[in-house]
Amino acid sequence: MISLFRKRARWSLVVITTFTVGFSFAHASVVITGTRVIYPANQREVSVKLNSNGAVPALVQSWVDDGDPDAKAKDKPMPFTLLPPVARIDPGKGQTLRMMYTQDPLPQDRESVYYLNVLEVPPRPPADLQGENLLQMAFRSRIKIFFRPVGLSGNPNETPAQVSWQVVKAEDGKGYALKGENPTVFHANYAETSVKFGDKSYASDGGMIPPRSSRLFPLAGLQALPVGAPEITFNAIDDYGGSHPVTLKPGMQSEAQ
């Protein structure tokens, strides 16, 4: 599998047939409106809009997984039903997915996260090209679903700023990592994080910190801990997929240790 990434949403590219002489860059023609789905527990259903920007009809399959990107549709039961699970979308048209919570028991004291997958299956080649050596690709888009119980205290968009940070030893004992502690009942989402000591910065990939949990963000290149408190920068992602850069000056967060 070849992976493509776009900001705050993941695309996967699956090669169906691999016989070709030339190659031109391809991209998904079916896109999901939005970069995440917020599902309030008291809603009967929520809608997700798909749009086709392609020149030919597209066949799409949709399913939900619980965090395993390699999981296939119907691998195991999920607490959400999608209608329709398979649909044809004509060029320039759209399709609305209806997502319904099945009422399966989920934690009511914190937010839960699942993932929506939309697989665009390539159409059959024209009759005059059948039998030729072709390269066909299926694109999959995958975005987060946040299931939000009723009555949770706090504002989810303020969660990233409530996380406390420390520079700690990496899990393997080699180098250092940025540790984020999330005391809230919502997920804290970051596009990227970094630490600065003096005029030297050490970056880390972004990621998500679950409610009432912690996560380590490895800091590439930081092998010895400098003297002094670090400056910490992160790009927080809100419910609408917007990115908000925040810089915590020394003394505004926990000391390195």
Maximal CA-CA distance, the chain: 69
- Span 125-147, pLDDT tens digits: 666 555 566 666 778 999 999 99
Determine whether domain 2-148 maps to CATH 2.60.40.10.
yes
**Residue 18: pLDDT band by 50, 70, 90 thresholds?**
very low
Q: For residue 119, how far is the Cα from the chain centroid?
A: 15
Q: How far, in Å, CA of 186 to CA of 29, rounded?
A: 33
Residue 155 in this model has a pLDDT that exceeds 60: yes
Q: How far, in Å, CA of 104 to CA of 69, rounded?
A: 22
- Span 194-252, pLDDT tens digits: 999 988 999 999 999 999 999 999 999 999 988 888 999 999 999 999 999 999 987 65
Half-sphere exposure of 228 (CA within 13 A, CB side): 12
For 4-31, what is the mean pLDDT? 48
User: Domain locations in the chain?
Assistant: 2-148, 156-248
Residue 3 in this model has a pLDDT that exceeds 50: no
For 97-103, what is the mean pLDDT? 97
pTM of the predicted model as reported, rounded to 2 decimal places:
0.84
Half-sphere exposure of 33 (CA within 13 A, CB side): 12
For 37-64, what is the mean pLDDT? 94
Domain 156-248: which CATH class?
mainly beta
